[in-house]
Amino acid sequence: MTIEIRSPSDDQLEAAMRAGTASFGDQPSEDDIARHRKTMPLERFLAAYDNGRPVGTAAAFPFELTIPGGRLRAGGVTWVGVLPSHRRRGILTKFMQYQFEDLHERGEPLAILWASESAIYGRFGYGIAAPSNSIDAERVRFRFRDDPGPTGAVRFLDADEAAEVLPPLYDRLRVEIPGMFARRPEWWTHLRLADPEAWRRGAGPKFFAVYEHDGQAEGYAIYRVKDEWQHGIPQGQVRIHEAFGTSPSATREVWRFLFGIDLIARVQAQIFDPGSPLPLMVTDMRSLHLTVGDGLWLRFVDVEAALRARSYAADEPVVLELRDDLCPWNAGRYRVGRSVERTEDAPDLELGVADLASAYLGAFDFHTLARAKRVVERKAGALARASGLFRTERPPFCPEVF
């Protein structure tokens, strides 16, 4: 079987998209296709062709990702799927190899993704870089510790108002939190604020609420309500898509609002910030029912450029020896400290490129990697030096599956 990997032409794109969604047991609507045309550049969409017929897809959004101390171009990998008729024939590997080389040529040092199947991407050099929590909280048990009482006010917005008010608030947070990415206006319009019926999954429409204090917008929430009753007792759910405050007090008031919605039994967020102060703000953290997931995965396309773009919390350098079978240009030794450079010096630590990805945004330190047998210390004290270098003030977080 000869498989051709290439970008479809404009008139071939719909057939390719239908093959890609069919690999997940679904089919896109005409509105879905139109939406994706507006958010995904055609030249970044790939299809696998078997005798001229599309049998799988992969794509990569052009993102700007927040990293410790700065921002960096990244390919947001998505649409990865192969029809059941063509699985286990090496097509996914071909996609990955093609995509790494393409992103490298584009000058995008990182690839990031949310994995539909979490066991797949480690073998392609991806590491868990920004774990995500979820909550399924009991509304009746929600109380704040040392509650000073409510401040400010919440105001509802329609979609047009939300498109004006929410992006500046998001951007205030994005530049501070590793793992978040910049959203273009069309992303807000056609994805984050869009509300197709198929996305509701039995719940109501999206609501957009902004929290204001002294006339200034300081937080917001995007959510739905799932109405449900049992024996005349309300058992509804608030399903949160995004909830942010630009300060601890604003965060408290946004969550006060969400837990104050009537006729609700549960407040749910499938993607919840591990760095949120909320669990320590409440009297009963157990009632939040926190769980941990793998979240955002990261892969180095150009490890030297990625290391140079990052800031470091200490000055004493460490020499890392990296393995990378799929992107051999990454393999080698790097002195990381006040500056980053390739070196022939003896290594202090040895690890694979996927494991360095788990430390890059600050999610895991090198002691944790060592306890998991993911890094080898060649010189005493190197784990402590590396952990000091890569330390961040807060854990990374990506608030959106793409």
Structure tokens given for 114: 């949310």
259 as an active site residue: the answer is: no
Beta partners for 49?
A: 4, 54
Contact criterion met (CB below 8 Å) for 224 and 201: no
- CA dist., res. 151 & res. 132, Å (int): 29
Exposure letters 184-193 (e unless 16+ CB within 10 A, then b) = eeebbbbbbb
**3-state class of 121 per DSSP?**
helix
Catalytic residue among 121, 124, 220, 364: 121
The overall longest dimension of the chain from CA atoms, in Å, is: 73
402 as an active site residue: the answer is: yes
Q: Which residue has the tokens 């958010």?
A: 39
Q: Where are the beta strands (DSSP E) in 301-400?
A: 318-323, 332-336, 340-342, 349-352, 375-377
The 3 state secondary structure assigned to 146-183 is CCCCCCCEEEEECHHHHHHHHHHHHHHHHCCCCCCECC
Structure tokens given for 234: 């309300």
Contact criterion met (CB below 8 Å) for 344 and 378: no
Contact criterion met (CB below 8 Å) for 165 and 157: yes
Catalytic residue ranges: 121, 402
